[in-house]
C-alpha cells in the first residue's frame, strides 16, 4: 500500500500546538513508509475562515519544518465535487431533501430534552413524498443513515470501537444555502486525495462513525483511522488558552527552536524506549503507531524549555546569530554592526550556555551591542557610588600593566589585586560590570572585558567614573 496521510486544519486562528503534533505524526508516518504527506485547508466555513489565518498556519508549519508534498488542497475549491456526490446519493435514494423548519427542530430538541434523551433528528422527511414539500422553504440534504445494526471502526490506537446505528441520525450533507457540511466534505476530499491513514485527535472519534457511514453509502473504502489522545494541560484538562501559550506562533516569538518543539511534541503520546533526545532522522526511522499510547499526555512547558536549551547548545553559533539578530535589533532599536557581530560570535558559547531560549540570548547579547554613552540601570547607578568610582579609577590605571588581554589574565590580575588589598572578588567585579555594561547582570564579566578589548574597557570605565 502506498501510504498517504494528511493534515487538515480549519483556518480560524493560529496553529494550535496540538495541531502541530497531529501534523508531525502524519508527516512522520508517511515518511516512515515512504509515502506522501498532504495538506488540506478546510476553509468551507467562510464566516470564520480568513486568509490571514491561512497564511499564519502555512508560515508556522514551514517554520516547524513540517513539509507537505504537493500543493495544498483548499476544500472550498471542491464545492462542485461535493454537490456532485450529494446528487449521486439522492439519485440512489441514499439521501433526501428535508424541509423541517428551525422552529420544528427547536420543538423536537426541547421535547427530547424534557424526555431526558439526546437530541436526534427523527427522520420526519425521510420517506415523505417530495410533492408535499413547502415551496417557500429551502431544504437541507440529509443522508439516509442505517437504522439497524452497528457501525464498527477498527482504530489503530483505540482498538475496535462501535456504535449502535440507532444512535446516529440522518446527518445533514448539504445546508439549505447549498454549502457542504464538514462531514461530507471530509469524506469526499479524503477519497479524492487518496488518503490511506487518518491520524488525528480522539475528539474526532465520534465524527469517524458518521464519516464511515458516508463512505459506506458511497461504496468507498475508508482510510484506516488512528485517533490519538489529546494533549492536556498541567491541570489534566484539554490544553486551551487558559493554559497560556498554546499557539505555535507564540513559541516562535518566545525564541524556541523548531527542532526542539518537534522533539518535544513527538514524545507527547509516543515513546521509543527511554529515548528523550530524538533526531529527525531517528524520528522518521522509528515512528509508527505502535508507539502511540491510549492515555492523554500532559504538556509541560518546563520540560520543553529544558529541551530547547539542549538544542540551543548544540546549534552552530553562526546560525544562532542569524536567528537572534532580528530580536536584538527590535529590542535595542539599533542596527547590529560588524564589530558587534564579531563580539557576539566570540561570546556566543557563554551566551548559549546561560540561555534556554533565543530570547534569552538576545536579551543578554545587548551587552555587546549597546554603544557609548551607556544608559545605566538604577541598580548599576547605585553600585557606581563615589567610593566605587575611586576604586575603578585606581584599577583602570593598572590595566595597561597587562601584557596579554585575555579573560584568564584579567581574572588572575583582579584576584591578585583583591588579595593585596584585602578585598573580595565581588566587591571589584560588580563595579566593573556596572561600569562597562551599564547593568548588574551580564555574561561572565572577565570574558566580556576580553571581548571588548583593553581600549574599549578603559573608555567605558572612564565614562562611568565621569557620569
Q: Is the pLDDT of residue 27 over 90?
A: yes
Strand partners, 155: 159
- 177 with 81, same domain? yes
Q: Is residue 370 part of a domain?
A: no
Whole-number average pLDDT of the chain: 94
Q: Is residue 49 part of a domain?
A: yes
- 332 with 285, same domain? no
- 87 with 37, same domain? no
Q: Is the pLDDT of residue 357 over 70?
A: yes
User: How far is residue 162's CA from residue 168's CA, in Å, rounded to a whole number?
Assistant: 12
Question: Please, which pLDDT band fits residue 234 given cuts at 50, 70 and 90?
Answer: confident
Return the SS3 of 177. Answer: coil
Percent of the chain with pLDDT over 90: 87
241 in active site: yes
Domain stops at, among 279, 303, 327: 303
pLDDT at 241 (0 to 100): 64
- 322 with 410, same domain? no
Q: Is the pLDDT of residue 272 over 80?
A: yes
User: How far is residue 273's CA from residue 290's CA, in Å, rounded to a whole number?
Assistant: 12
pLDDT at 340 (0 to 100): 95
pLDDT at 239 (0 to 100): 83
Query: 389 is written with which cell numbers?
Result: 568610582
pTM given for the model? 0.92
Q: Is residue 200 part of a domain?
A: no
User: How far is residue 457's CA from residue 464's CA, in Å, rounded to a whole number?
Assistant: 11
Residues 306, 261 contacting (CB under 8 angstroms): no
Tens digits of per-residue pLDDT, 152-179? 999 999 999 999 999 999 999 999 999 9
- 257 with 175, same domain? no
Burial class (CB in 10 A: 0-12, 13-18, 19+), 169: middle
Instruction: Note down the domain range covering 153.
Output: 77-183
- 179 with 88, same domain? yes
Q: Is residue 217 part of a domain?
A: no
Parallel, antiparallel or unpaired: strands 231-232 and 297-298:
parallel
**Catalytic residue (choose from 241, 294, 381, 394):** 241
Strand partners, 180: 174
Overall domain count for the chain = 4
HEC profile for 65-120? CCCCCCCCEEHHHHHHHHHHHHHHHHHCCCEEEECCCHHHHHHHHHHHHHCCCCCC
State the average pLDDT over residues 370-377. 93
Q: Is residue 155 part of a domain?
A: yes
- 167 with 91, same domain? yes
Q: Is residue 206 part of a domain?
A: no
Q: Is residue 9 part of a domain?
A: yes
Exposure string over 320-358, b if 16+ CB within 10 A, otherwise e: bbebbbebbeeebeeebeeebeebbbebbebbbeebbbb
CA 61 to chain centroid, in Å, comes to: 8
Q: Is residue 198 part of a domain?
A: no
- 345 with 287, same domain? no
Q: Is the pLDDT of residue 246 over 90?
A: no
State the average pLDDT over residues 176-203. 96
- 347 with 401, same domain? no
Return the SS3 of 334. Answer: coil
Provide the phi-psi class of 194: left if phi over 0, else alpha when psi is between -120 and 50, else beta: left
Report the 10 Å Cβ neighbour count for 318.
Answer: 11
**Residue 20 parent element (H or E):** helix 17-32
pLDDT at 443 (0 to 100): 95
Q: What is the dihedral of CA 394, 400, 402, 404, to 10 degrees?
A: 140
- 450 with 403, same domain? yes
Residues 126, 156 contacting (CB under 8 angstroms): no
Question: Please, which pLDDT band fits residue 244 given cuts at 50, 70 and 90?
Answer: low
Q: Is the pLDDT of residue 47 over 90?
A: no
- 93 with 176, same domain? yes
Question: Please, which pLDDT band fits residue 19 given cuts at 50, 70 and 90?
Answer: very high
- 391 with 461, same domain? yes
Amino acid at each position: 500500500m502506498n501510504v498517504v496521510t494528511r493534515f487538515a486544519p480549519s483556518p480560524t486562528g493560529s496553529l494550535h500546538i496540538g495541531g502541530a503534533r497531529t501534523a508531525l505524526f502524519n508527516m512522520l508516518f508517511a515518511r516512515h513508509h515512504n509515502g506522501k504527506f498532504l495538506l488540506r485547508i478546510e476553509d468551507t466555513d467562510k464566516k470564520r475562515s480568513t486568509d490571514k489565518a491561512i497564511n499564519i498556519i502555512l508560515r508556522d508549519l514551514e517554520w516547524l519544518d513540517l513539509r507537505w508534498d504537493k500543493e495544498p488542497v483548499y476544500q472550498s475549491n471542491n464545492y462542485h465535487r461535493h454537490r456532485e456526490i450529494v446528487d449521486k446519493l439522492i439519485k440512489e435514494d441514499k439521501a433526501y431533501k428535508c424541509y423541517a423548519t428551525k422552529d420544528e427542530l427547536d420543538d423536537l430538541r426541547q421535547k427530547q430534552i424534557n424526555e431526558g434523551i439526546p437530541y436526534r433528528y427523527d427522520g420526519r422527511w425521510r420517506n415523505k413524498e417530495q410533492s408535499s414539500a413547502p415551496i417557500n422553504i429551502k431544504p437541507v440534504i440529509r443522508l439516509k443513515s442505517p437504522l439497524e445494526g452497528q457501525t464498527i471502526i477498527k482504530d489503530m490506537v483505540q482498538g475496535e470501537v462501535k456504535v449502535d446505528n440507532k444512535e446516529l441520525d440522518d446527518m445533514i450533507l448539504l445546508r439549505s444555502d447549498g454549502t457542504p457540511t464538514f462531514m461530507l466534505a471530509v469524506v469526499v476530499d479524503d477519497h479524492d486525495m487518496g488518503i490511506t491513514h487518518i491520524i488525528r485527535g480522539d475528539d474526532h472519534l465520534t465524527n469517524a462513525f458518521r464519516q464511515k457511514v458516508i463512505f459506506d453509502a458511497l461504496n468507498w473504502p475508508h482510510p484506516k483511522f488512528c485517533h490519538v489522545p489529546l494533549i492536556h494541560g498541567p491541570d489534566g484538562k484539554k490544553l486551551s488558552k487558559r493554559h497560556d501559550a498554546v499557539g505555535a506562533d507564540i513559541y516562535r516569538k518566545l525564541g524556541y527552536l523548531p527542532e526542539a518543539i518537534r522533539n518535544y511534541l513527538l514524545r507527547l503520546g509516543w515513546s521509543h524506549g527511554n529515548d528523550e533526545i530524538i533526531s529527525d532522522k531517528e524520528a522518521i526511522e522509528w515512528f509508527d503507531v505502535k508507539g502511540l499510547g491510549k492515555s492523554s499526555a500532559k504538556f509541560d512547558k518546563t520540560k520543553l524549555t529544558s529541551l530547547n536549551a539542549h538544542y540551543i547548545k548544540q546549534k552552530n553559533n553562526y546560525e544562532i546569530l542569524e536567528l537572534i539578530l532580528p530580536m536584538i535589533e527590535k529590542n535595542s532599536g539599533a542596527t547590529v554592526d560588524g564589530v558587534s557581530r564579531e563580539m557576539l560570535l566570540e561570546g556566543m558559547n557563554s551566551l548559549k550556555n546561560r540561555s534556554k531560549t533565543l530570547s534569552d540570548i538576545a536579551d543578554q547579547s545587548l551587552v555587546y551591542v549597546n554603544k557609548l554613552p551607556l544608559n545605566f540601570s538604577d541598580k548599576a547607578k547605585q553600585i557606581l557610588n563615589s567610593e566605587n568610582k575611586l576604586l575603578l579609577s585606581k584599577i583602570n590605571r593598572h590595566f595597561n600593566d597587562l601584557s596579554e588581554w585575555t579573560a584568564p589574565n584579567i581574572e588572575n590580575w583582579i584576584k591578585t589585586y583583591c588579595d593585596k588589598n584585602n578585598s573580595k572578588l565581588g566587591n571589584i567585579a560588580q563595579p566593573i560590570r556596572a561600569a562597562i555594561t551599564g547593568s548588574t547582570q551580564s555574561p561572565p564579566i572577565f570574558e566580556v572585558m576580553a571581548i571588548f578589548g583593553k581600549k574599549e574597557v578603559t573608555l567605558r570605565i572612564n565614562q562611568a567614573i565621569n557620569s
